[in-house]
Amino acid sequence: MDYSELVDALRNGDSNSVNEICSDSLIILKKYLIATMGASPHDAEDAVQQMFEYLIPKIRMDVIDNPGGLAKYMMKASRHSYLNLLRDHDLNDHEVLSEEPHVDENQIWDLVNDERAKILKLCIEQLKTHYRALVDFIFKYPEADAKDVAEKFDISLNNAWQRKHRVIKKLTSCAEKHY
Residues at the contact surface with other proteins, assessed by CB under 8 A: 1, 24-25, 27-29, 31-32, 35-36, 71-72, 74-75, 105, 108-109, 111-112, 116-117, 120-121, 124, 128-131, 133, 135, 138-146, 148, 151-155, 159, 161-162, 164-166, 168-172, 175-176
CB 131 within 8 A of CB 167: yes
Phi then psi dihedrals of residue 91, to 5 deg: -55, -40
Amino acid at 149: V
User: From the centroid of its chain, how far is CA 43?
Assistant: 16
Please identify, using beta-carbon distances, which residue of 42 and 147 lies nearer to other proteins: 147
- 3-class DSSP state for residue 172? helix
Burial class (CB in 10 A: 0-12, 13-18, 19+), 10: buried
Please identify, using beta-carbon distances, which residue of 10 and 74 lies nearer to other proteins: 74
Q: How far is the CB of 123 from other proteins (least distance, A)?
A: 9
Q: How far is the CB of 88 from other proteins (least distance, A)?
A: 25
Q: How far is the CB of 76 from other proteins (least distance, A)?
A: 9
Please identify, using beta-carbon distances, which residue of 52 and 90 lies nearer to other proteins: 52
Q: How far apart are CA 10 and CA 19, in angstroms?
A: 10
